[in-house]
Chains A and B, each alone.
Chain A
Amino acid sequence: MTTLTPVLSAHWDEKDSFTMAGYKRHDGYKAAEKALKMEPDAVIQLVKDSGLRGRGGAGFPTGMKWGFIPQGDNKDHYLVVNADESEPGTCKDMPLLLANPHVLIEGMIIASYAIRAKYAFVYVRGEVTHVVRRVQQAIEDAYKAGYLGKNIFGSGVDLELVLHVGAGAYICGEETALLDSLEGFRGQPRLRPPFPAIAGLYARPTVVNNVESISSVPSIINNGAEWFSAMGTEKSKGMTIYSLSGHVTNPGQIEAPLGITLRELLDLAGGVRAGHELKFWTPGGSSTPIFTAAQLDTPLDYEGVAAAGSMLGTKALQIFDETTCVVRAVLRWSEFYKHESCGKCTPCREGTYWLVQILRDLENGKGSEADLDKLLDLCDNILGRAFCALGDGATSPITSSIKHFRDEYIAHFTNGGCPFDPHASTLFASAKAGA
């Protein structure tokens, strides 16, 4: 029995959860006040001790990232929060910011203090206007309360916090592309090293963290590292938000300790929609290799998912039942990567273009088995050769789906077209069946 652990989402059911009053009702900004009385290095150590790892996909230890910022270098330091949530299937940071933007601001105050940054930015994707409103208002209210600006909390510490809104480019979720975008350029990734900790925003030491990672920090300061590390598994500590979408009875957000399984989560969400069965799913967005029912009991933590051949990623569990054509699903993801490729490197720019052409033919029944080998060969030439993880991600759905569903690809050309009825997969079809 895994007990659910709503921490970040604990008060989302209160109508004013997003306001300063709603946040302060539950000890809001107490953690920042407490942290500002600690030594900055002690804050970093506490976050290290908690075992918190990045919730944006890579799982890098957050405290260690903070510790990489050189101290006493007489340079400006920056904190940048990545709220450019765009990985297909991922829908946790936007509801978090809609329901409680203050927890992010409080986390940013603590993180900025720890890394000695006087300027912090939150980069929110541009296609979510109401989320932008909530964050903007929360920042203004925090300034008014004296939690941002000069001499915050009367501590002598200054912090400017700026909202920066994107404009519809998935690639800006990649941390170095995000920094280029924030500097006012086309959002294209940078060569690493140097890493952002040494030369990030304006070539200054910079920490880039995900919304959920930073939002987890106030609870760690309030409750202690041991409280946090008591949740989760040996190397994957704490609670996290899992997002269930697609063919489940009740899609939505479930906050649980790391290591819960899809079987448990599906059980909580009422199972796969009535009358249907699980066919395939993504553990952490479209860039993570797909799983089937064989991985229902895989612990959804960093190590468990990796050991099973995929990645925990953003914990975006997209559930597809047997009515879904895997070729169509993969084609659509491939079109996405082609559209979002920034064009900087050849393997990704050209590779995703060819992947889409071949997949379109296959979906329309015009391919042959040799095309599957060509797809795999193309993927082999993109994976590890692209400039950033976007190219790698583009290959994941293709190679994993051919591994699990080769016969279904072949059925497309023996059948002379897609053997599936797209209407059967829709929400409207299930509504009718349920009525």
Chain B
Amino acid sequence: MAFTDQNIEVMDSIIKRYPRSRSAIMPLLHYVQSLEGYVTNEGIELIAKKLELATAEVSAVSTFYTQYKRKSVGEYHVGVCTNTLCAVMGGDAIFAGLKDHLGVENDGVTADGKVSLEHIECNAACDYAPVVMANWEFYDNQTVQSAKDLVDAMRAGNPPAPTRGPNTLPTWKENSAVLAGLNDGRANEGTQAGEPSLLGLRLSKEGKGAKA
């Protein structure tokens, strides 16, 4: 698609955040994903032009980081943590179950374009294992069945809210804009902390120290 004048203005505002323009590559790549769904050649050319870099320099950055996609993902991009802790707690079974259920392999997209699947590394939510991410929002303490239900709901167009996130699940493109540093005004939605995050505080309030 062609980029609009308004898109260019947003890109200029992103570049202005930094003392040196090249630092804006990463948010600009997130921004291109928010417009196009993935990092297109046109997006790379535009970023290169804006930052006065060679397209090869921008491509080199985009291919280093796994969150930048060079082809379309689903409207809902699902990541299953299969790093050791989550894998052992059930992540392996969930990932196998979803591959089977969706009929796709790792990095695959369903034929209707709704759901893509990827196995991911540790997402800093180990106390909520096994963890599934959707468009990089947390779905905590999943089972094989709950994960299948989740992707079914996505394909039906009504996914449940993330466990610790906004009140509804944003699309891949919407969340890519947030990662570009564009405030979507939804920071006040959702919980401040899940129960495991409050474990120590609760114990302390109950007057429980630890026995020496």
Point out the residues of chain B lying under 8 angstroms from A182, CB to CB: 23
Check: B113 CB closer than 8 A to any chain A CB.
no
Contact B66 A255 (CB under 8 A): no
Check: A366 CB closer than 8 A to any chain B CB.
no
Q: Assuming the A-B contacts A137-B187, A184-B25, A253-B127, are A202 and B19 also in contact, with contact meaning beta carbons closer than 8 angstroms in the complex?
A: yes
Contact B136 A129 (CB under 8 A): yes
Contact A245 B123 (CB under 8 A): no
Q: Which of A10, A185, A332 is B61 in contact with, Cβ under 8 Å?
A: A185
Q: Which of A1-27 contact B (CB under 8 A)?
A: 1-6, 9-10, 12-19
Q: Assuming the A-B contacts A127-B123, A165-B179, A428-B144, are A251 and B129 also in contact, with contact meaning beta carbons closer than 8 angstroms in the complex?
A: yes
Give B19's nearest chain A residue, CB to CB. A119
Q: CB-defined interface of B15-28 with A at 8 Å, one 1/0 digit per residue?
A: 00111101111110
- How far does the Cβ of B141 sit from chain A's closest Cβ, in whole Å? 7
Contact B65 A130 (CB under 8 A): no
Q: Assuming the A-B contacts A1-B209, A13-B198, A336-B83, are A163 and B181 also in contact, with contact meaning beta carbons closer than 8 angstroms in the complex?
A: yes
Contact A130 B190 (CB under 8 A): yes
Point out the residues of chain B lying under 8 angstroms from A95, CB to CB: 193-194, 197
Residue among B122, B123, B179, B203 with max Cβ neighbours from chain A (10 Å): B122
Check: A128 CB closer than 8 A to any chain B CB.
yes
Give B83's nearest chain A residue, CB to CB. A88
Contact A130 B165 (CB under 8 A): yes
Complex Cα gap A192–B93 (Å): 43
Contact B179 A251 (CB under 8 A): no
Point out the residues of chain B lying under 8 angstroms from A268, CB to CB: 199-200, 203, 208, 210
Give B28's nearest chain A residue, CB to CB. A184
Check: B133 CB closer than 8 A to any chain A CB.
yes
Complex Cα gap A184–B199 (Å): 39
Check: A47 CB closer than 8 A to any chain B CB.
no
Contact A267 B186 (CB under 8 A): no
Contact A126 B136 (CB under 8 A): yes
Q: CB-defined interface of B128-146 with A at 8 Å, one 1/0 digit per residue?
A: 1110010111100101100
Check: A164 CB closer than 8 A to any chain B CB.
yes
Check: A90 CB closer than 8 A to any chain B CB.
yes
Contact B82 A316 (CB under 8 A): no
Contact B18 A254 (CB under 8 A): no
Q: CB-defined interface of A263-307 with B at 8 Å, one 1/0 digit per residue?
A: 011011100000000000000001000000000000000000000
Complex Cα gap A163–B182 (Å): 10
Check: A56 CB closer than 8 A to any chain B CB.
no
- How far does the Cβ of B121 sit from chain A's closest Cβ, in whole Å? 5
Q: Assuming the A-B contacts A76-B19, A89-B126, A246-B88, are A253 and B192 also in contact, with contact meaning beta carbons closer than 8 angstroms in the complex?
A: no
Check: B108 CB closer than 8 A to any chain A CB.
no
Check: A170 CB closer than 8 A to any chain B CB.
yes
Number of residues from B at the complex interface, CB < 8 A: 84
Contact A329 B199 (CB under 8 A): no
Contact B30 A165 (CB under 8 A): yes
Q: Which of B93, B138, B181, B196 is A426 in contact with, Cβ under 8 Å?
A: B93
Complex Cα gap A289–B23 (Å): 36
Q: Assuming the A-B contacts A98-B192, A130-B190, are A169 and B127 also in contact, with contact meaning beta carbons closer than 8 angstroms in the complex?
A: no
- How far does the Cβ of A286 sit from chain B's closest Cβ, in whole Å? 7
- How far does the Cβ of A249 sit from chain B's closest Cβ, in whole Å? 11
Contact A127 B210 (CB under 8 A): no
Q: Which of A206-247 contact B (CB under 8 A)?
A: 241-246
Point out the residues of chain B lying under 8 angstroms from A14, CB to CB: 192
Complex Cα gap A260–B208 (Å): 14
Contact B122 A245 (CB under 8 A): no
Q: Which of B61, B166, B192, B198 is A186 in contact with, Cβ under 8 Å?
A: B61
Complex Cα gap A185–B144 (Å): 39
Check: A365 CB closer than 8 A to any chain B CB.
no
Complex Cα gap A140–B195 (Å): 28
Interface size class of A (residues with CB under 8 A): 35 or more
Contact A127 B61 (CB under 8 A): no
Contact B183 A136 (CB under 8 A): yes
- How far does the Cβ of A321 sit from chain B's closest Cβ, in whole Å? 10
Point out the residues of chain A lying under 8 angstroms from B83, CB to CB: 88, 286, 332-333, 336
Point out the residues of chain B lying under 8 angstroms from A18, CB to CB: 187, 192
- How far does the Cβ of B74 sit from chain A's closest Cβ, in whole Å? 16
Give A123's nearest chain B residue, CB to CB. B26
Q: Which of B2-16 contact A (CB under 8 A)?
A: none
Check: A187 CB closer than 8 A to any chain B CB.
yes
Q: Assuming the A-B contacts A129-B179, A187-B64, are A251 and B124 also in contact, with contact meaning beta carbons closer than 8 angstroms in the complex?
A: no
Check: B92 CB closer than 8 A to any chain A CB.
yes
Contact A12 B137 (CB under 8 A): no
Contact A15 B65 (CB under 8 A): no
Contact B192 A16 (CB under 8 A): yes
Q: Which of B107-126 contact A (CB under 8 A)?
A: 120-126
Q: CB-defined interface of A395-435 with B at 8 Å, one 1/0 digit per residue?
A: 00000000000000000000000000011011110000000
Complex Cα gap A129–B181 (Å): 10
Contact B193 A251 (CB under 8 A): no
Complex Cα gap A183–B51 (Å): 12
Complex Cα gap A96–B66 (Å): 25
Give A141's nearest chain B residue, CB to CB. B187
Point out the residues of chain B lying under 8 angstroms from A17, CB to CB: 192-193
- How far does the Cβ of B102 sit from chain A's closest Cβ, in whole Å? 20
Contact A255 B30 (CB under 8 A): no
Contact A169 B65 (CB under 8 A): yes
Contact B93 A168 (CB under 8 A): no
Contact A260 B210 (CB under 8 A): yes
Q: Which 5 A-B pairs have the closest CB atoms?
A: A252-B199, A252-B196, A264-B210, A254-B200, A167-B65
6 contacts across the A-B interface (CB closer than 8 A): A5-B204, A76-B19, A129-B175, A130-B187, A245-B127, A252-B200
A165-B30, A252-B198, A253-B197 given. 13 additional CB < 8 A pairs? A6-B200, A89-B126, A90-B122, A91-B125, A94-B125, A126-B136, A126-B179, A127-B133, A167-B66, A184-B61, A250-B199, A253-B199, A328-B87
